[in-house]
Chains A and B, each alone.
Chain A
Amino acid sequence: MILFKLALRNLVGAGTRTWLNVTVTSITFVLIIFMSGLYQGMFESNKRLMIETEIGGGTYWHPAYDPKDPFTLEDSHGVLPTEIAEQVIAGTGMPVLITQGSIYPEGRLRPVLIKGIPPEQQVVTLPTGILSTYAGEAIPVLIGAGMAKTTKLRVGDTFTARWRDARGTYDADEAEVVSIMNVENFQVDQGQIWVPLERLQRMLEMPDEATYVVVSRETSLLANPGGWNTMSVDALTEDFRRIMLTGQASMSIMYLIFLALAAMGIFNSQVLSIFRRRKEIGTLMALGMHRGRVIGLFTTEGGLHSLLALILAALYGGPFLLWTATRGIPLPIDYAEIGMLLDQRMVSVYPAGLFVGTTLLVTFIVTIVSYLPARKIAKMKPTEAISGRTN
């Protein structure tokens, strides 16, 4: 306790140098927490977005379906196994049928995925209900805002859609945009058009068939029913989680640079202060402090940088982090266009472990760089130190 008091006196008495080190350390501290929280927030908001608009409580894939390989699409459709069909009838499952096709807005060809979805579905938040209100002859189509931008399609525009049916015969029909939806998930937006499931089944001559089935969030997933592959939410978000982790790993290089900067500043101050304060160290020993205690005093003095940094970080970092965690940071770019899944405002998520972990890390490093130079004191002779002579 007395060491703590003395160390604090010395540290505060040392002035500018202390505050410089404390500031850099506190910036490091806030930066690490902020960046980690941002990544965590990105992951969680992305996961939430995917759950709401795309994957619900998980999906069953047709055995041949592989979204990463478009060539599988031709074969990946089939009638639902009974267990899955029961969930669909109960309203907790939503079948989606996918085929490759092309559209010709303003006469220019664009390959697209045509996705059939039951308009009355309640499993994901896509506003599919609008598809059933269409009274015209054309195929009613729902598209995302990103798709609307790239194709310059507006509500009420008509265009030609072409596809191949079950027997491989090409067919074409007129389609009309009945609604444009604002979803930030590009996976349900870019390069695709949404049409009523039954209509698509008729167009393809694949009655009652689907490519995958999304179950609602409250429903528990069955294990590979009828040979279809069960994909859990975790499995479906795994790719994104990996991207985030890689991103965080490359961010940690930046943390390390800042941490090294803070550590070097404190290390330097310690070396300098032990050199400059030789006479003081000798005096402390003459006054009856033994070496271990003097080393303890100087280590505490250095280590206190982390405490002051923590307090400073709490002062300006606290409100800032709170703001990013509640209001979120507005993103200037429309990420839907560049194919990222992001909210318009990025809300950070700070798990308690992040604070504890960062505090421990910073305190540990600061204490080490404070202790290393202080060890030199043990080699000093009090008689020489008192007079300020060097070894």
Chain B
Amino acid sequence: MDDNHIVEIRDLVKNYPVGGGHFTALRDVTTDLVVGEFTGLVGPSGSGKTTLLNIIGGLDAPTEGSVTVLDMPLGGKNHKELAHLRREGIGFIFQTFNLLPVYTVFENVEFPLLLIGMAADERKELVDQALEWVGLTDKVKSRPAQLSGGECQRVAIARAIVKKPKLIIADEPTANLDAKNSHNIMQILVHLNQELSTSFIFATHDEKVMGYLTRIIHLIDGRIDEDEHISEPEYRKGK
């Protein structure tokens, strides 16, 4: 694997069994994601964006082809090994935030660190830092139900970045947010991308998100239609 590559996908096909036959959600997908890229999967509904993100995250298995993530070929790996990959190297941001409802903001952000067995004082430091990045230091003790949608997504971002993963996967992170909050979230992510050179891969149909992307992969009917590199994203100008 190329040192510069964080994800390598070769001849990927994904079929879902439907009725007697199957439905092909992804076909002939071959591409590489480079370290530090701020990539978006863009395409109409049903074009396979979520499916591709799930496969990269090891949550779903390809039907054909090979996928290598963070130097680990995913083919033939059991769910324990895949869980390990996610735990150590990948952060997730979801459209519906997916915070753990009984935990406080602090505990939610702390969770990934508990999973990797980090010591308490080290955890505290990293959680405080992550909450500072997303500007939520004053909500440490709140529970998700007491937060606005924008705040919830910021907590989710803090949770995704707290362990400083190499790759963050975000499926429609702004779909449930208004314009102001969407820009706010994206600016935080861009900042992290620049500071920590974390690689991002989004699925989105949000024009606002597209304005921040450095690369857009257009999917149509499960196929890569166009692969666009953007040297000066609209909203990144002047940065």
Kindly list chain B residues whose C-beta atoms are within 8 Å of the C-beta of A382.
59-60
A132 interfacial by beta-carbon distance below 8 Å:
no
B residues bordering A, Cβ < 8 Å? 54, 57, 59-60, 79-80, 82-88, 90, 92, 94, 96, 98, 100-103, 107, 111-112, 114-117, 159
Task: Evaluate contact between B96 and A286: CB separation under 8 angstroms.
Answer: no
**Number of A residues with CB within 8 Å of any CB on chain B:** 27
Kindly list chain A residues whose C-beta atoms are within 8 Å of the C-beta of B112.
287-288
Q: How far is the CA of A14 from the CA of B102 in the complex (A)?
A: 7
Q: Name the CB-closest residue of B to A388.
A: B96
Task: Evaluate contact between B79 and A283: CB separation under 8 angstroms.
Answer: no
Shortest beta-carbon distance from B169 to chain A in Å: 9
Number of A-B contacts (CB under 8 A): 72
Task: Evaluate contact between B83 and A288: CB separation under 8 angstroms.
Answer: yes
- 23 residue pairs A–B, Cβ–Cβ below 8 Å: A6-B114, A9-B102, A13-B101, A13-B103, A14-B102, A279-B96, A280-B98, A283-B92, A283-B98, A285-B59, A286-B86, A286-B94, A287-B115, A288-B84, A288-B85, A288-B112, A288-B116, A289-B87, A290-B80, A290-B82, A291-B83, A383-B59, A387-B96
A253 interfacial by beta-carbon distance below 8 Å:
no
Q: 8 smallest A-B Cβ distances: which pairs?
A: A288-B87, A13-B102, A290-B83, A288-B86, A283-B98, A290-B80, A382-B59, A286-B92
Q: How far is the CA of A287 from the CA of B91 in the complex (A)?
A: 7
A70 interfacial by beta-carbon distance below 8 Å:
no
Chain A residues numbered 347-391 whose CB sits less than 8 Å from any CB in chain B:
381-383, 386-388
Q: Which of B54, B79, B82, B100 contacts A383 (CB 8 A)?
A: B54
Chain A residues numbered 277-306 whose CB sits less than 8 Å from any CB in chain B:
279-280, 282-283, 285-293
Do A386 and B98 contact each other (CB < 8 Å), given the known contacts A285-B83, A288-B88, A289-B83? Answer: yes
Shortest beta-carbon distance from B99 to chain A in Å: 8
Kindly list chain B residues whose C-beta atoms are within 8 Å of the C-beta of A5.
114
Given contacts A9-B107, A280-B100, 14 further A-B contacts (CB under 8 A): A9-B103, A282-B98, A283-B98, A286-B57, A286-B92, A286-B98, A287-B115, A288-B85, A288-B90, A288-B116, A290-B79, A290-B82, A291-B83, A386-B59
Kindly list chain B residues whose C-beta atoms are within 8 Å of the C-beta of A10.
102
Task: Evaluate contact between B115 and A289: CB separation under 8 angstroms.
Answer: yes
A235 interfacial by beta-carbon distance below 8 Å:
no
Task: Evaluate contact between B79 and A286: CB separation under 8 angstroms.
Answer: no
Kindly list chain B residues whose C-beta atoms are within 8 Å of the C-beta of A283.
92, 94, 98, 100
For A1-13 the 0/1 string (1 means CB < 8 A from B) is 0100110011011
Do A383 and B107 contact each other (CB < 8 Å), given the known contacts A9-B102, A280-B100, A286-B86? Answer: no
Kindly list chain A residues whose C-beta atoms are within 8 Å of the C-beta of B88.
288
Shortest beta-carbon distance from B142 to chain A in Å: 14
Kindly list chain B residues whose C-beta atoms are within 8 Å of the C-beta of A289.
83, 87, 115
Q: How far is the CA of A14 from the CA of B100 in the complex (A)?
A: 12
Q: Which of A279, A288, A386, A388 contacts B115 (CB 8 A)?
A: A288
Kindly list chain B residues whose C-beta atoms are within 8 Å of the C-beta of A6.
114
Kindly list chain B residues whose C-beta atoms are within 8 Å of the C-beta of A388.
96
Residue from the set B82, B85, B94, B102 with the largest chain A CB neighbour count within 10 Å: B102
Q: Name the CB-closest residue of A to B95.
A: A387
Shortest beta-carbon distance from A280 to chain B in Å: 6
Q: How far is the CA of A383 from the CA of B61 in the complex (A)?
A: 11
Q: Name the CB-closest residue of A to B102.
A: A13
Do A292 and B80 contact each other (CB < 8 Å), given the known contacts A382-B59, A386-B94? Answer: yes
Q: Name the CB-closest residue of A to B50.
A: A383
Kindly list chain B residues whose C-beta atoms are within 8 Å of the C-beta of A386.
59, 94, 98
Q: How far is the CA of A288 from the CA of B167 in the complex (A)?
A: 14
Q: Name the CB-closest residue of A to B160.
A: A287
Q: How far is the CA of A381 from the CA of B54 in the complex (A)?
A: 11
Task: Evaluate contact between B115 and A280: CB separation under 8 angstroms.
Answer: no
Kindly list chain A residues whose C-beta atoms are within 8 Å of the C-beta of B54.
383
Kindly list chain B residues whose C-beta atoms are within 8 Å of the C-beta of A383.
54, 59-60
